[in-house]
Structure 1
Amino acid sequence: MDKSFKNNRKGGKPIYLALILLIATIVFLFLPRAVKGTNLWVDVAFYTITDIGFLVALILGIKTKNKPIVLFSVLLNGALFIGVTIFIYLLLVVIGIAGPN
């Protein structure tokens, strides 16, 4: 019974990684409001790094043998990856409209 618990815990790492990245993304979303004068390129860099993290979590989720974790990981990380990518695109559009600083 102890081995099965370790296997379930090991298989949940992609989900934990996705949730940690989601919390970091939400916290960083409200950070520029608290700190005035931040550059939008910092946001683009941070969200790009978290986007790469969602891809890593997606790959780790696909490599697990547990089918529910694979399904949940693909759905969660896929949705978050697409959402953050769209948000990065919109930030880049805002930077393009605003012009160089």
Structure 2
Amino acid sequence: MSISKENKSILLTLILLAAAFVVFFANQIFPSNSIFPSRSGDLTIPLWLFFAIDIGFIVALVLGIRTKKPSVMWFSIITNSIFFVLLSALMFLLAIANGISEP
């Protein structure tokens, strides 16, 4: 099963969006084996995971801009830039929360 060059950016955007939701809701989805330490309040692991997902949105944006189809290009520009800005704002708020909770 081969994915065309035009559809790679759309597929990557959807995968990254799903990964962001899994990281955000990881404490509720997997309460016993969570990546979020519920008692210590350390948020460095989710921050690094969100940073990697944020870099992925930039990669998906570049892949979408390099396509020849205008509809895929505009979809990639609009969605990836919106998701990049929203995730960056969430990372900023998590960084502030991590700084406040540190002793």
TM category (shorter chain) comes to 0.7 to 0.9
Equivalenced residue count is: 94
**Aligned residue type for 1:97:** I
Residues 47-58 of structure 1 mapped to structure 2, 5 A cutoff: 47-58=50-61
1:15 aligns with 2:10: yes
Q: What stretches of structure 2 of length at least 5 have no aligned partner?
A: none
Whose helix fraction is larger, Structure 1's or Structure 2's? 1
Cα deviation code 1:34-83 (max 9, x no counterpart): 22625310000000000000000000000001000000000010000001
Partner residue in 2 for 1:97: 100
Counterpart AA for 1:37: P
TM-score computed with the length of structure 1 as normaliser = 0.85
In 1, the alpha carbon distance for the partners of 2:37 and 2:46 equals 12
- Structure 1 residue runs of 5 or longer lacking an equivalent are 1-5
Q: Which moved more, 1:33-42 or 1:67-76?
A: 33-42
Q: Secondary structure at the match of 2:68?
A: coil
**1:46 correspondence with 2:41:** no
Partner of 2:73: 70
TM-score by length of 2: 0.84
Q: Could you tell me which amino acid in structure 2 is paired with residue 41 of structure 1?
A: T
Q: Distance in 1 between matches of 2:69 and 2:97?
A: 41
Percent of aligned positions that are identical:
35
Distance 1:19 1:66 in 2: 18
